[in-house]
Structure 1
Amino acid sequence: MTQQWTPRRIAVLGASGLTGSGLAHQLSLSPDFDEILLLDLKDSLLQAHAIDMREAQIVTGSTHAALQVIPMERAAEQRPVDLVVVAASLPETPDGSREAFLDANLGVFRALVPTINALAGDDALVMILTNPTDVLATCLARMSGLAPSRIFGYCLNDSVRLVAAVARELQVSPARVRALVVGEHGDGQVPVWSGIEVDGSPVHLADDQRARIDADARGWFRRWSDLRPGRSSGWTTPVGSARTITGLMSGEPMPVAAWYEDGVSEGSHTTLLAVVRDGSVVPIALDYLDDAERSALDEASAAIAEKARRTDALARSGAERN
């Protein structure tokens, strides 16, 4: 019998940032977790976040989870946790792209590998929030020595944005829409048109409707960047990350960047519906994908693997020159 995944102790790396602190706050209000370790280089801000979160726990009457601020230099002294969340990231810049974050954030990940390995121990799963989550998850598997199936990336936002785009096109409430994006987080995303439902019933969309919806969903990042907010999605991602964790805990298939070996690429972390089974994040079969969607999924997986391979090779070459 498969044992239910119950991450009672969670470590959040990058817990002073908007996304990391937001997720830590969400988790701290749940009775499902015993201890949340907060780690970041910005110690004073982290201490302030912890004070604020503990008082929020009192306001809501949700004081079960203990919040522990851990200096980064003492991370290796901690006993392994059940889930390591990596939210550490360099600041986003105006006119940037998800690809632009890759090289910079890969350097952050390289520095964090010893900490991740120590906190993950032999059994913990590792959840990546830092963009691009799928490529960085694949790179982390190469750098850390952790089994790729123990690493997964957060990708729920892509499906949320497809839901919003479908709702706008059909002029219905988003609450009535169910939609899924697989593939790559970014340009290689694959809307699963064959799985879109409204009020639980399949919906057939004409080609022009699909084109408008696709342009709407894919245009999200550019519209966001044009606002020059100087930050990532600080409410959706923390709430969505908490929702992903609790969904996986209950056995619900969730869209995450999970390890996928499709016979086309060398394997990569590709967005699919997945569950946690026997200590691994396991994709489930999407039998309803049509031929075009399955082909696009395989192409996205191969592209992620190639980006991870190329980026990792460039980083190693630069490190050797230095």
Structure 2
Amino acid sequence: MTQTWSPRRVAILGASGLTGAGLAHQLSLADEYDEILLFDLKENVLQAHAIDMREAQIVAGRTRARLTVLPLDEAVAQTPVDLVVFAASRPETPDGSREAFLEGNLGVLRAVQPAISALAGESGLVMILTNPADVLATCLAHLSDIDPARIFGYCLNDSIRFTAAIARELKLDPTRIDALVVGEHGDGQVPVWSGLRLDGAPLELTADQRARIDADARGWFRRWSDLRPGRSSGWTTPLGSARTIAGLAADEPMPVAVWRRDAEGNGSHTTLLAVVRDGAVVPTPLDYLDDAERAAVDEASAALADKASRAGALTH
């Protein structure tokens, strides 16, 4: 019998930022975790976060999870954990793109890679929260000795935004809709039109409806950037990350950037439904995709492998 993955100790690198701190807060209010280790260069901010979160735990009546603040340079000396979360990021800039974050955030990833490897040990999983999560997950697989199947990227937001776009088009409550995006977190995203469900029943859309929904969902990042908020999605991403971790722990297939190889043998982390099996994050069978969607996923995988390769070449 396959043993269910049960993360009890979680380490978050980049825990002073909006998404890292938000995830720490979400996990601290759950009863499933024993200890959450917080690392960041801004140790004073972490200490303040920890004080605030501990008091929030009292308000919520959820005090099981222990919050531990440690200097980043002590990460390599810690006992390995069940899950390492990489949430450190360079500041978002106006008029940027997901690709524009890659070079700067890859530099951050390179700097903390020894800490990630030490904290993951021989069996811990690694979750990439930093944009672009799929490309950075693939880069980490090349930068470290961690099995690529133990690394996965957070990508639930694409499915959430697709669901929201459908709800706007049809003027429906989005909680009635089941929608999924796979492929790349970016231009190569693949909406799974064949799997749309409304109240559990198949949902058919016209070509015009699909075109408007697709433009709406793909235009999210530009609309967000035009607001010039100077930050990432600080509520959706932490809550979605906590939901992803809980789903994987419950043996529920979740959309994450998961390691796969194409027909030529090139590997990349591509968003697919995945589960944890024997210490690895593995994609479920692709029978939820039609032929066109599978072909689009293959194209996305090849593009992601190329982006990771070119990013690695730029930083050598």
TM-score, normalised relative to structure 2: 0.99
The equivalent of 2:60 in structure 1 is 60
Q: Where in structure 2 are the equivalents of 1:32-111 lying within 5 Å?
A: 32-111=32-111
The equivalent of 1:4 in structure 2 is 4
The equivalent of 1:319 in structure 2 is none
Q: Where in structure 2 are the equivalents of 1:235-274 lying within 5 Å?
A: 235-264=235-264, 266-274=266-274
Q: Is the 8 A contact 1:265 1:305 kept in 2?
A: no
Separation in structure 2 between the aligned mates of residue 123 and residue 305 of structure 1, nearest angstrom: 25
Deviation for aligned residue 1:291: 1.8
Separation in structure 1 between the aligned mates of residue 246 and residue 183 of structure 2, nearest angstrom: 22
> After superposition, what is the alpha-carbon deviation per residue over 1:67-115, rounded to whole angstroms, capped at 9, x for unaligned?
0001011111110000000000000000000000000000000001110
The reply on whether 1:287 has 2:293 as its aligned counterpart is no
Deviation for aligned residue 1:292: 1.4
Q: Where in structure 2 are the equivalents of 1:155-174 lying within 5 Å?
A: 155-174=155-174
Separation in structure 2 between the aligned mates of residue 156 and residue 8 of structure 1, nearest angstrom: 22
Unaligned runs of 5+ in 2: none
The equivalent of 2:151 in structure 1 is 151
Separation in structure 2 between the aligned mates of residue 293 and residue 255 of structure 1, nearest angstrom: 15
Q: Is the 8 A contact 1:184 1:271 kept in 2?
A: yes
The equivalent of 2:112 in structure 1 is 112
> After superposition, what is the alpha-carbon deviation per residue over 1:222-256, rounded to whole angstroms, capped at 9, x for unaligned?
00000000000000000000000000000000000
Counterparts in 2 of 1:288 and 1:81: CA distance versus 1, 3 Å: closer
Separation in structure 1 between the aligned mates of residue 231 and residue 288 of structure 2, nearest angstrom: 37
Deviation for aligned residue 1:305: 0.2
The reply on whether 1:191 has 2:197 as its aligned counterpart is no
The equivalent of 1:135 in structure 2 is 135
**Secondary structure of 2:270's aligned partner:** strand
Separation in structure 2 between the aligned mates of residue 157 and residue 300 of structure 1, nearest angstrom: 17
The reply on whether 1:276 has 2:276 as its aligned counterpart is yes
1:77 aligned partner, one-letter code? A
The equivalent of 1:180 in structure 2 is 180
Of residues 121-130 and 162-171 in structure 1, the stretch that sits farther from structure 2 once superposed is: 162-171
**Secondary structure of 1:84's aligned partner:** strand
Deviation for aligned residue 1:179: 0.4
The reply on whether 1:215 has 2:215 as its aligned counterpart is yes
Same amino acid, percent of matched pairs: 73
Separation in structure 2 between the aligned mates of residue 78 and residue 297 of structure 1, nearest angstrom: 38
Counterparts in 2 of 1:265 and 1:191: CA distance versus 1, 3 Å: farther
Deviation for aligned residue 1:170: 1.1
Deviation for aligned residue 1:286: 2.1
Q: Is the 8 A contact 1:181 1:191 kept in 2?
A: yes
2:56 aligned partner, one-letter code? A
Separation in structure 1 between the aligned mates of residue 223 and residue 313 of structure 2, nearest angstrom: 32
Deviation for aligned residue 1:314: 1.3
Separation in structure 1 between the aligned mates of residue 202 and residue 167 of structure 2, nearest angstrom: 14
CA RMSD across the alignment: 0.7
Deviation for aligned residue 1:285: 1.1
Q: Is the 8 A contact 1:23 1:239 kept in 2?
A: yes
Tell me how many residue pairs correspond in the alignment.
316
Deviation for aligned residue 1:265: 5.7
TM-score, normalised relative to structure 1: 0.97
Deviation for aligned residue 1:31: 0.6
Deviation for aligned residue 1:16: 0.1
Separation in structure 1 between the aligned mates of residue 49 and residue 10 of structure 2, nearest angstrom: 16
Deviation for aligned residue 1:290: 1.7
The equivalent of 2:125 in structure 1 is 125
Unaligned runs of 5+ in 1: 317-322
Deviation for aligned residue 1:264: 4.5
Deviation for aligned residue 1:288: 3.2
> After superposition, what is the alpha-carbon deviation per residue over 1:38-94, rounded to whole angstroms, capped at 9, x for unaligned?
000001111100000000001111000000001011111110000000000000000
Separation in structure 1 between the aligned mates of residue 131 and residue 147 of structure 2, nearest angstrom: 20
